[in-house]
Every structure is written in C-alpha cells, then in structure tokens.
Amino acid sequence: MTAVALPIAARLRRGASRSRLGLLLDAVFSSGLFVGTFLGVLALGLLLWTVYDRGWERLASDPSGFFANFVSRFPARAGIKAALYGTAWLMGLTALFSFPIGVGAAVYLEEFAPRNRLTSFVEANIANLAGVPSVVYGILGLGVFVRFMRMGPSLLAGGLTLALMSLPLIIIAARESLRAVPVSIRLAAYALGATKWQAVRHHVLPAAMPGTMTGVILSLSRAIGETAPLIVIGAAVSIFNTPDDVRDPFSALPVLIFNWTSRPQPAFAEAAAAAGIVLLAMLLAMNTVAIFLRKRFATRW
Amino acid sequence: MSQNPLTLNHDVNDATRSAGPTRRPEVPTSPDIAVVPDTDPVFQISDLSFFYGAFRAIRDVSMDVRGNQITAVIGPSGCGKSTFIRCLNRMNELIPGTRVAGRIDYHGQDLYADDVDPIEVRRRIGMVFQKPNPFPKSIYDNVAFGPKVNGLKPASMDDLVEESLRRAALWDEVKDKVKKSAFSLSGGQQQRLCIARCIAVKPEVILMDEPCSALDPLATNRIEELMIELKQDYTIVIVTHNMQQAARVSDRTAFFTAEVSDEGRERTGVLVELDRTEKIFTAPGDRRTEDYITGRFG
C-alpha cells in the first residue's frame, strides 16, 4: 500500500494539520488580551488628558506664582507653596522611617527568623496590614502619634503615619528581592568562614538592594498621593509659611487638591487640576527612578 | 527520588567507560601498585551518620582522609557523596532539621565538639561548589572578601589577591581586569576564581563538590591540573560523578553506594570501600565497586 506523500509545501501550509478553529481561537485570544492591555493604557491616557485639559492653562499662565504663592481666598492668587513643601518633607520623613525598619524587618524574617508559629503569625499579619485601608492608618496615627504621643498634627505625625502605612509593602518587596538572591551566594560566603550577618551584609543585601529600592520608591509614591490619613490626622490647608521643623503643622498636595475641588468656584477646580499635574509629575518621576534602578543595577544570575 | 542506578551517570565519559570490557581480570593485590605514601590522617571519621529529619542520608561511614593527597569520593547519584563532604566542614548544619551522629576528628580534634566554632571550621576547611558561584562583584572583591571577614590582615591585600589568583592559575587571564565583574568570566574561569577565593583565606583542606560537572572538557582539564598542583599544600577531597576524573587526579578513592531499605523508599548512602585509587580501579575489594566501575551496576 503506498500512501501518496504530500509535497512539503502542502504539508507546511497554514491550516494543513491544525484545525481552522484552533487558529481562530488563537487570534481571538491574542486580540482579546491586547484589548485588555490597551484599555488599561487608555484609562491612564484619559486621566492624564483630563487633568492636563483642566489644569494646564492655570499652571502655564502663571507658573512662578502657582509654585511660589500660599493659598488664598482668590483662586487667581492661590498657590501650592506650603503644600509642595509639606509633601516634600513628608516624603523625606516617610522614607527615613520606613526604609530602615522595612528592610530590617525583611532581613530578619527572611534570613534570621526561626521557622516557627510566631514567625508565620507575623508574616500573615504583614500581608493583612498591606490590605488595611489607608484611612484606618489615619485613625491609628491620630490616636497614637497626634494624641497619645502629643505630636499634634505635625509633619512628624504625618511622616510616621505614612511610614506605618508603607511598611507592609516595603517589607513584602524587600523579602521578595532577598528571596531572589540564590542560596549558592550565601553558601559561598559561609564556606569562606563568613558569619550569617557578614554574608547578608556583604552579599545578600547588596544583591537585593535594587529590587528593594524599587519597592520602597513605589510604596513612597503611593504614600505621597494619600489624602485620607493626612486629613484624619489633621493636615491643614491654610498655612502661610513653609515648615522649618518636623514639629510644624503642614499641608500636602493631595489634601490641598481635595480642599480645592470641594470649593464652589470653577477657578479652584482648575487650580486643583493644576496641582494634580504637579503631583502626577512627581509620581511619574519617582516611578521612572524606580524603573531605572531596577534595569540598571539588577543582578542577572 | 528513587532512580534506577543504570540510568545514572550521564557523564560524557560514560560512553568510553561502557565501551570497555565488562569483566576485569583478577589482578592480584600487591602492595606496590601505586606509590601512595601513608601521610598523616587529616580527618578520622568514625561511624558517621547524617539525618535530614527522620531520613538517614548516610550511615556508619568510617574512613581516614590523609593529608596532602587527593581523596575522590565516587558513587551513583543519591548515595550521599555530597552530604558526606558537607559534613566535613559543617555546611550541612545550615539546613534546618538535620542531625549528625558519629564522630569526625580533624587533626585529632572532634569537629562537632560543643566548643568548636563552625565558622572557624569553615575557614580552615574550604569548599568549592558544583556550579561556579562567584559573588556578583569584581574579581578582586571576590578574592578579598574571605580574608576581610576573617580578620586576616595581610601586609598587602593586592599581593594576597594576586597570589591567590596565581595559585588558582587564573592570574594571567585576569590581571588586567581584576576590577571587572566576576560574571564577565567564562564558567571555567569562574570556577578557578572560586578556588582562588577559597585559597585566599588560607585553608588547610579544600573540599570540592563535583567542581567540574558544569564545565567543558578543556576547563575540566585545567581544574584537574590545578588540583594536582594544589595537593602539595592542601588536602583535597573531591566528589565526582566522573570516574575517569577520579582515576586521573586522586590518590585514594572512596566508593559510596546507596542501600535501598526494605520498603524500597529510603536510600541510605554507605561507604563500600576506600583504597588507593589504582587498586579501586584495577582490583576493587568489593563486588559492588567492581560492578560500578565496570559500568555493570547491579
């Protein structure tokens, strides 16, 4: 019995062996996935456009005044100076508190903690804390820092509250990057007579640093956009000087934006959008730094 | 994972081995088949067992490792070779839930005595791993790390780095780029860097856990030459899957095998015999050794 062999061209032709349905499904799924991705980008684009459309004129008409003025009853004279300073201070303080504590906790949990019930309890609760709404952190900050520790509605209280809020995410990101460092590196260090701390300090932590920094920056950029906890602990709007000290009262960009959008005058809505552009620009700048760090310094094993 | 021993040892050299005769003629045991001096023992191991939890990975291993010689440890996969040499520098105890029984004397000192510091043990008994594992740092920093953390204060760190790289036969290839990343080196160079890094802390023993299994034949050859050179100053224990390698470099060979328990679930490593390498490969004292080295494992 001799089967007629198809010429190779016919056998390689599209659809020769695979069903047409399979090929169709392939096309449907890949275009569906593309649409899904595209919708996300589209939403971001729309958001940026709306903010730009509403606020750019206000920002561009008098940029120096907008950055240099304090708030005012008159929308045309209102500026973001106090809020901008407040946000910058908050960012610094939040990073100062959350980075060492977060990385320290991650190193402990990942490298030193005994595998027991207490450790798993702590681990589970860190994951839970990451899901706690930010306004609840505001209530915690109000109760603990503002009132009990008598810090008042100060920069310090704000920074500590935002730091508490960022900690779980920082710990999770830092643990992930510590875990990505191969065991062989730790073994190599131990085999040379290094102690656990020396192995961590010289090799594991530096190798995990780019990933950790990325996590820290991303959670900081989330923190500086937070409005609710700052309002709860009593961040002000009508502030007419820039802070010199962590005990000073403060304003912050998201709080100011929230305040301006709730005013009746349309000109304040424009000012709010303009402030939104500034805040977005800060966030994008931070995320760019995060991406840069990850791409530039990440170790490829 | 329980495997059929016949399917193990996927070495390149397997082909050569199984092409050889399956039955060796009986060679009469004579004391002078190879000149292997009876140097002083560095390790005296007695009734060593090692447990991962309840699972016994090796059982009742007793043997001596002699100084300034290369002792090869061969045997099928899962026979506890790696577990065994990791007992010699207390690397195993970094794995939680493990336990050692028996005794290892190192120059007469019980390695597992309560007052022995495992960190100090690991400095004196260095280790080279299966896959080259340089630190993601410069070549220089890779070598300098060990002396630094051990508080060695050489007159000149640069000289110590150079000397270590020279001893590892790597200096000529890297002398112009010691500040470059260790990852820029080839696999064989990385492994020699790991040996240099190990030498830099001035150990007395170098344990090598299949150091050539990730390397090509040329790189393997360089490492083997290096080992023979290094035994002037160091005692070397090498685990290898490659019997030709054991035959080429070692003075003595220990053959381990896995004993399968009655239920067939557990495979426990045991030492079958330790002898001069030439004797192991020409006139092994045990049937199981002969079956293994002739490729007729069974």
pLDDT over 50 at A239, yes or no:
yes
Say yes or no for a CB contact (<8 Å) between B126 and A207.
Answer: no
Q: Which CATH number applies to B9-19+39-133+205-293? A: 3.40.50.300
Distance between B18 CA and the closest CA of chain A, angstroms? 34
The H-or-E segment that residue B12 falls in is none
> Which residues does chain B have within 8 Å of residue A189's beta carbon, measured at their own beta carbons?
135, 145, 149
The pLDDT > 70 percentage for chain B reads 87
Give the closest residue to B100 by CA, choosing from B117, B113, B119: B113
Q: What is the pLDDT of residues A164-205, one digit of tens each?
A: 999 999 999 999 999 999 999 999 999 999 999 999 999 999
- Out of A40-54, B34-48, B216-230, least confident range: B34-48
CA A120/CA A24 separation, integer angstroms: 47
The H-or-E segment that residue B125 falls in is strand B125-128
Instruction: Give the one of B94, B137, B197 whose C-beta lies nearest to A192's C-beta.
Output: B197
Distance between A298 CA and the closest CA of chain B, angstroms? 10
Q: How many of the other CB atoms lie within 10 Å of CB of A31?
A: 11
Predicted confidence at residue A76, as pLDDT, reads: 83
| Inter-helix orientation angle A205-224/A81-107, to 10° | 140
In A100-139, the residues whose Cβ lies within 8 Å of chain B are 115
CA A92/CA A88 separation, integer angstroms: 6
Say yes or no for a CB contact (<8 Å) between B146 and A203.
Answer: no
Classified as helix, coil or strand, B240 is coil
pLDDT over 90 at B38, yes or no:
no
Mean per-residue pLDDT for A8-24? 77
CA A94/CA A170 separation, integer angstroms: 12
Instruction: Give the one of A182, A185, A193 whose C-beta lies nearest to B119's C-beta.
Output: A193
> Which residues does chain A have within 8 Å of residue B194's beta carbon, measured at their own beta carbons?
188
Residues 6+ apart with CB under 8 A from B1: B78
> Which residues does chain B have within 8 Å of residue A206's beta carbon, measured at their own beta carbons?
136
Say yes or no for a CB contact (<8 Å) between A203 and B119.
Answer: no
The H-or-E segment that residue B266 falls in is none
Residues 6+ apart with CB under 8 A from A205: A103, A107, A178
Say yes or no for a CB contact (<8 Å) between B146 and A190.
Answer: no
Predicted confidence at residue A96, as pLDDT, reads: 95
| Inter-helix orientation angle A81-107/A253-261, to 10° | 130
CA A55/CA A259 separation, integer angstroms: 16
Say yes or no for a CB contact (<8 Å) between B198 and A191.
Answer: yes
Instruction: Give the one of A187, A191, A207 whose C-beta lies nearest to B126's C-beta.
Output: A191
Where residue B22 falls among pLDDT bands split at 50, 70, 90?
Answer: very low
Predicted confidence at residue B295, as pLDDT, reads: 82
The pLDDT > 90 percentage for chain B reads 68
Structure-block tokens of residue A166: 């960022």
Q: Note whether A83 and A255 are within 8 A (CB).
A: yes
> Which residues does chain B have within 8 Å of residue A301's beta carbon, measured at their own beta carbons?
136
Structure-block tokens of residue B91: 């690397």
Q: How many of the other CB atoms lie within 10 Å of CB of A275?
A: 27
Q: What is the pLDDT of residues A266-296, one digit of tens each?
A: 889 999 999 999 999 999 998 898 888 888 8
Instruction: Give the one of B91, B136, B198 whose C-beta lies nearest to A299's C-beta.
Output: B136
Collect all residues from B whose CB is shorter than 8 A from any CB in A. 89, 91, 94, 96, 119-120, 122-124, 126-127, 129, 131, 133-137, 145-146, 149-150, 183, 194, 197-198, 201
Mean per-residue pLDDT for B178-190? 93
The pLDDT > 70 percentage for chain A reads 97
CA A145/CA A139 separation, integer angstroms: 10
Predicted confidence at residue A3, as pLDDT, reads: 58
Residues 6+ apart with CB under 8 A from B146: A192, A193, A194, B123, B152, B197, B198, B200, B201
CA A179/CA B290 separation, integer angstroms: 44
Question: Tell me, what amino acid is at A169?
Answer: L
Say yes or no for a CB contact (<8 Å) between B94 and A192.
Answer: no
Q: Cα(first)–Cα(last) distance of chain B, in Å?
A: 18
The H-or-E segment that residue B237 falls in is strand B235-239
Q: What is the pLDDT of residues B67-116, one digit of tens each?
A: 999 999 999 988 899 999 999 999 998 888 899 999 999 999 999 999 99
Residues 6+ apart with CB under 8 A from B111: B88, B90, B104, B105, B121
Distance between B30 CA and the closest CA of chain A, angstroms? 40
**∠ CA(B104), CA(B109), CA(B112), 5° rounding?**
50
Say yes or no for a CB contact (<8 Å) between A185 and B133.
Answer: yes
Mean per-residue pLDDT for B219-245? 92
Any B CB within 8 A of A209 CB = no
For B153, phi then psi, to 5°, come to: -115, 80
DSSP classification of residue B5: G
- Out of A52-61, B218-227, B255-264, least confident range: B255-264
Task: Please give the residue of chain B at the shortest CA–CA distance from A299.
Answer: B136
Instruction: Give the one of B94, B120, B136 whose C-beta lies nearest to A193's C-beta.
Output: B120
Residues in chain B: 298
pLDDT over 80 at B33, yes or no:
no
DSSP string for residues in B156-218: -HHHHHHHHHHHTT-HHHHTT-TTSBGGGS-HHHHHHHHHHHHHHT--SEEEEESTTTTS-HH
Q: Which residue has the tokens 């019995």?
A: A1
DSSP classification of residue B108: T
Q: What is the pLDDT of residues A122-162, one digit of tens each?
A: 999 999 999 999 999 999 999 999 999 999 999 999 999 99
> Which residues does chain B have within 8 Å of residue A300's beta carbon, measured at their own beta carbons?
183
> Which residues does chain A have within 8 Å of residue B195's beta carbon, measured at their own beta carbons?
none
The H-or-E segment that residue B145 falls in is helix B139-149
CA B87/CA B98 separation, integer angstroms: 11
Name which of A187, A190, A192, A205 to mutate to probe chain B: the one with the most chain B Cβ atoms within 10 A of its Cβ.
Answer: A192
Domain boundaries, chain B: 9-19+39-133+205-293
Structure-block tokens of residue B59: 């059982």
**How many residue pairs from chains A and B have C-beta atoms closer than 8 A?**
70
CA A265/CA A50 separation, integer angstroms: 18
Residues in chain A: 301
Name which of B127, B131, B145 to mutate to probe chain A: the one with the most chain A Cβ atoms within 10 A of its Cβ.
Answer: B145
**3-state DSSP of chain A:** CCCCCCCHHHHHCCCCCCCHHHHHHHHHHHHHHHHHHHHHHHHHHHHHHHHHHHHHHHHHHCHHHHHHCCCCCCHHHCCCHHHHHHHHHHHHHHHHHHHHHHHHHHHHHHHHCCCCHHHHHHHHHHHHHHCCCHHHHHHHHHHHHHHHCCCCCEHHHHHHHHHHHHHHHHHHHHHHHHHCCCHHHHHHHHHCCCCHHHHHHHHHHHHHHHHHHHHHHHHHHHHHCCCHHHHHHCCCCCCCCCCCCCCCECCCHHHHHHHHHCCCCHHHHHHHHHHHHHHHHHHHHHHHHHHHHHHHHCCCC
